[in-house]
Amino acid sequence: MALFSRRTRTAAPAPQGAVATLDVDPALAALTGDYAIDPAHSSIGFTVRHAMVTNVRGSFARHEGTLHLDGADPSRSTASIDVEIASVDTGIADRDAHLRSGDFFDAEAFPKMTFRSTSAAAVGGDTYRVTGELTIKDVTRPLSIDLEFAGSATDVYGNERVGFEGSAEILRSDWGLTWNAALEAGGVMVSDKVKLTFDISAIKQA
């Protein structure tokens, strides 16, 4: 089921003088509203190449955000996410401490990473592209995230939920994250390219 798509059905021509109207799927229209991201059932993560031979994966344990979904018009949908940098977790305490340091995120001076959407559009099927501004440290740059609608349901507590899965790729150097170390055999310790991943479960508020 496409979340935001306007659905039309083939119909006979309208009588002369009648105003044409768009037939919106009631199931999609019912999803319109404001949602809060549920951090206990959501994940914001990243994957980066390490030493040219393997991938390191991590996530941010603490984050919050809101969505406004418009089931009839995707361009009116919005997203806002705040991530606590100090909650970075790669499974290795020393590595996490290095990421929080001035070599990378400088979490003490810049405690949050934020995303604020500026536009949204249907790409096709259940996929939607949310474009906005990603701020890391003191740098704000545009970012587009492709999200796939994973479904909607009412949970056992009566909460109306929607789910999305998506990803985006960035060059960390664009946000001033330039620390690296050269390898003896050539190449560098940490790749510039980083894949961001989003698994979002959000609860309808109104």
Cα-Cα end-to-end distance for the chain: 22
What mean pLDDT is predicted for residues 72-77?
88
What's the confidence (pLDDT) of residue 44? 98
User: What's the angle, vertex CA 171, arms to CA 65 and CA 121, rounded to 5?
Assistant: 50
pLDDT band at 179; cut points 50, 70, 90? very high
What mean pLDDT is predicted for residues 159-178?
96
Integer Cα distance of 119 and 121 in angstroms: 7
Question: Has residue 7 got a pLDDT over 50?
Answer: no
What's the confidence (pLDDT) of residue 22? 41
pLDDT band at 162; cut points 50, 70, 90? very high
Amino acid identity, position 137: K
Question: Has residue 89 got a pLDDT over 90?
Answer: yes
Question: Alpha-carbon dihedral of residues 34, 40, 44, 49, nearest 10 degrees?
Answer: -170
* Per-residue b or e along 103-140, where b marks 16 or more CB atoms closer than 10 Å to that residue's CB: ebbbbeebebbebebeebebeeebebbbebebbbbeee
What mean pLDDT is predicted for residues 58-65?
98
**CB proximity list for 156: less than 8 A, separation 6 or greater:** none
Question: Has residue 130 got a pLDDT over 70?
Answer: yes
What's the confidence (pLDDT) of residue 25? 59
Per cent of the chain over pLDDT 70 is 86
State the chain's mean pLDDT as an integer. Answer: 88
